[in-house]
Amino acid sequence: MMKKALICGISGQDGAYLAQLLLNKGYEVYGTSRDVQMSGFGNLQKLGIKEQIRFESMSINDFRSVFQILRKIKPDEVYNLAGQSSVGLSFEQPVETLESISVGTLNLLEAIRFTDLPIRFYNACSGECFGSTTEEGATEETPFRPRSPYAVAKAAAFWEVANYREAYKLYACSGLLFNHESPLRPERFVTRKIITAACRIAQGSKEKLQLGNLNIRRDWGWASEYVDAMHRMLQQDKADDYVIATGKSYALEDFVRISFEKFGLDWKEHVVSDPAFLRPTDHFMGLGNPNKAKRDLNWVAQNQMPQVVEMMIEAEMANTKTKKKTSVTVEQES
């Protein structure tokens, strides 16, 4: 029989790639939004899969709404990718961040418990929970030391999942995903900000790219690979938590340098460090140890930061060419 999957947060980067993966595997895919009629689902349109998704309006912070949707769809798998997703924005909206992530996760877990259906539940956790890691990288046993409201919220949700797995025997697991990027990232994320600025400057823009601390190090991977790990977690005999990462970190300066080198440019001529972009608290090193995922899930990241930069630039330039062609066509028609 065709499996049913419910993706909460389907409009985001991970939700769109996950929907694409599950459709390719023959799933019947449902996606939720607070108000389906008002949501554009732009990422699903970019991937050309919007028409294959079934949408339901659901407020993840309203237990009754969550419970009703689960009873209606009766999914085999539920993927919780919903909630405020920006670390930087969480400092400006800490209450909304905590509520959308921790309360939303709790409502899903409790609704699954009340339906008494054999639902397998995936929760999107984050490598941000660890704070600064060592050069060996964080494992599933590394203590949490969150350094942002976003990380605090994700840590709370992680322990909710662990508790429901142990206390109520739910099939529930969390993926501790380190940074993963793609062209579907909004420009408020620093990686997309860098890529789009480098492309504009290469085409003649005189702007200066303003960034914060260029010395921070992160473990960057490719988003469409990471959603494959999510799916694999729910196919195991026993629910468990996994660190998903490339196992290699780079400085933000490296990301910037490689981005500009792709166009033969010296990044130092186009980038300025602005204290306004520094976070109230931050961590220096972000590095994950994905050995458990390799052992249990047979999952290994295929692309690291240099390849991520190259693919994001290719997509951005292709998108720019498409916009120019569309603009020319419109002008000719008018």
Catalytic (active site) residue 128: yes
Q: What is the distance between the alpha carbons of residues 77 and 107, in angstroms, rounded to a whole number?
A: 16
Task: Specify the range with the lowest mean pLDDT, choosing from 11-25, 155-169, 315-329.
Answer: 315-329
Catalytic (active site) residue 126: yes
pTM: 0.93
Task: Specify the range with the lowest mean pLDDT, choosing from 36-40, 61-65, 193-197, 269-273.
Answer: 36-40
In order of start, what are the domains of the chain with their CATH numbers?
4-182+222-244 (3.40.50.720)
Task: Categorize the per-residue pLDDT at 330 as very low, low, confident or very high, splitting at 50, 70 and 90.
Answer: very low
CA 313 to each of CA 149, 181, 203, 263, 328: distance values in angstroms, whole numbers, following the listed order? 31, 12, 13, 10, 23
Task: Categorize the per-residue pLDDT at 187 as very low, low, confident or very high, splitting at 50, 70 and 90.
Answer: confident
pLDDT of amino acid 90: 86
The one catalytic residue in 150, 171, 226, 242 is: 150
Q: For residue range 190-241, list pLDDT tens digits in order.
A: 999 999 999 999 999 999 999 999 999 999 999 999 999 999 999 999 999 9
pLDDT of amino acid 329: 52
Q: Are 306 and 258 in contact (CB under 8 A)?
A: yes
pLDDT of amino acid 322: 67
Q: For residue range 90-114, list pLDDT tens digits in order.
A: 889 999 999 999 999 999 999 999 9
Catalytic (active site) residue 150: yes
Say whether pLDDT at 281 is over 80.
no
Q: Which residue in this structure is represented by tokens 């985001």?
A: 12
Q: For residue range 119-160, list pLDDT tens digits in order.
A: 999 999 999 999 999 999 999 999 999 999 999 999 999 999
Handedness of CA 240, 6, 12, 94 (dihedral sign): negative
Task: Categorize the per-residue pLDDT at 284 as very low, low, confident or very high, splitting at 50, 70 and 90.
Answer: confident
> What would the mean pLDDT of 299-324 be, rounded to a whole number?
91
DSSP states of 273-298? E-GGG--SS--SB--B--HHHHHHH-
The one catalytic residue in 126, 148, 174, 249 is: 126
> What would the mean pLDDT of 27-54 be, rounded to a whole number?
91
The one catalytic residue in 28, 128, 181, 225 is: 128
pLDDT of amino acid 160: 98
pLDDT of amino acid 1: 81
What's the mean per-residue pLDDT of the chain? Answer: 93
Q: For residue 226, give the nearest of 126, 332, 121, 100 by alpha carbon.
A: 126
Q: Nearest 5°: phi and psi at 165? A: -65, -40
